[in-house]
Copies of this chain bind each other. A is one copy, B any other.
Amino acid sequence: MTDTLRHAAGNGLLHRRHFLRGGLAVTGGMVFARARASDRPEWMRMPGAPMSTYGSTAGAEGHVQRLLAGAQPGTTGSGASLTPLQHLEGTITPSGLHFERHHSGVPAIDPERHTLTIHGDVQRPLRFSMDDLLRYPRVTRQRFLECSGNTRPQYNDAPMPHTCAMLYGLLSGSEWTGVPVSILLEEAGVAKDAAWVVAEGADAARMSRSIPLDKMLDDAIIALYQNGERLRPENGYPVRLFLPGWEGNTSVKWLTRLQVSRQPAMSREETSKYTDPLPDGRARMFTFPMGVKSVITSPSPGLTLGGPGLYEISGLAWSGSGAIRRVDVSADGGRSWAEAALEAPVQDKALTRFRLGWQWDGAPCTLLSRASDAQGAQPTRDALLAIQGARHSYHYNAIQAWHVNADGELANVYA
């Protein structure tokens, strides 16, 4: 059996075509009981439950939840919750499991009273009700959203004993639908010397960010729908800004104001926060695009391997600059690499699922994934820290290493 498998790199990595074309029979690695007669279970002996107006998850899947990362002191709703990436598949995150990051909790907005105002350096200040916005032409885009603080624990000197969700769960993928910002700005008539747009939310924190006008005219969306239905409250209902590929904080939720201006606002969230201190004491501001990045979601810490045999290594790759070009996987700590299969269609600034077969021999080893976009590949951790210095806390995108011990248990390590 094993002899027919084409190995693509060291320590059991199989050629990606084994999975692309379904040519992988895994009897050698699996143990199955033979078919046998058995009594019918009780759920086949009685009628089942009726239809419902809005379904929910299976009871046995109740453990698949957002991980509450803890509210910030003195607040009721500030903090974050994390997407349980290691329990999910494909590229769409269910809206109920999309990560959260709130600066003053989730406001209970009445959509009948909420408005979006465009003002500042414009010829015609405009105010839109939600019904007004719903009259405009829309676009639909499948895109990722990632907090720039995602994977921050990896800046620690020693690797934390964290799961994939705890390290990478400020990342989700959705199908977003809304009105191109460019249409509304065109209607308002932007002044010739305008260069920025300050976006403000209707939460109690009045969370605001300054966005370059070019981005707003390029691919920014006034998002009204997420995964087919109207936005969820924690994702900005009734309306949010969505900036494909940029740090999540700039996709301002509960959007109520766009102020066109010549200069950025220098708000709290772009001065004391969301800036990147450099080794020489200066700091980078307005570091918007998220870097090319990947993580193996299965296997990962908590998902223990059931002994030697065949496995699928599966994970997510994404880039704020465009489409993922390739993902390579190593099962020997980086000595050799094999190219993973990418699930089509590979879309710009969207989560991309990669897969590769692996024949684990039961010996301890280290699994890595390395994504590439048009600009190049993910850096090693050492290379990233050499550039960023020790005081960085955003935009971590180095290659992730999971160590596998002889019991099949995985752990976060620095490789």
Contacts and interface: CB of A to CB of B under 8 A. Distances in A.
A400 B276 CA distance: 56
A280 interface: no
A47 B207 CA distance: 12
A125 interface: yes
A347 to B, nearest CB: 7
Contacts of A56: 96, 232
A126 interface: yes
Contacts of A60: 110-112, 238
A182 interface: yes
A228 B47 contact: no
A308 to B, nearest CB: 12
A91 B64 CA distance: 25
Contacts of A139: 343
Contact of A232 (B57, B64, B98, B105): B57
Contacts of A80: 51
B76 A229 contact: no
A236 to B, nearest CB: 10
A306 B135 CA distance: 9
Contact of A71 (B50, B77, B140): B50
B57 A65 contact: no
Given A76-B49, A135-B311, A107 B22 contact: no
Contacts of A93: 228
A387 interface: no
Nearest to A311: B135
A52 interface: yes
A131 B31 CA distance: 11
B113 A41 contact: yes
A136 B51 contact: no
B77 A108 contact: no
A90 interface: yes
A-B residue pairs, 6 tightest by C-beta:
A48-B105, A43-B107, A35-B125, A53-B65, A89-B225, A51-B81
Interface of A: 18-19, 22, 24-27, 29-30, 32-36, 41, 43-58, 60-61, 64-66, 68-69, 71, 75-81, 87-98, 100, 102, 104-114, 117-119, 125-128, 131-132, 135-140, 173, 175-177, 180, 182-183, 186-187, 202-204, 206, 224-225, 227-235, 237-238, 306, 309-312, 314, 343, 345, 347, 353, 355, 357
29 contacts: A18-B137, A19-B137, A26-B187, A29-B135, A30-B132, A30-B135, A34-B127, A35-B118, A35-B127, A43-B203, A44-B107, A48-B77, A48-B102, A48-B108, A49-B77, A49-B233, A51-B71, A51-B80, A51-B234, A54-B57, A55-B235, A58-B230, A87-B229, A91-B140, A91-B175, A92-B175, A94-B95, A97-B228, A137-B312
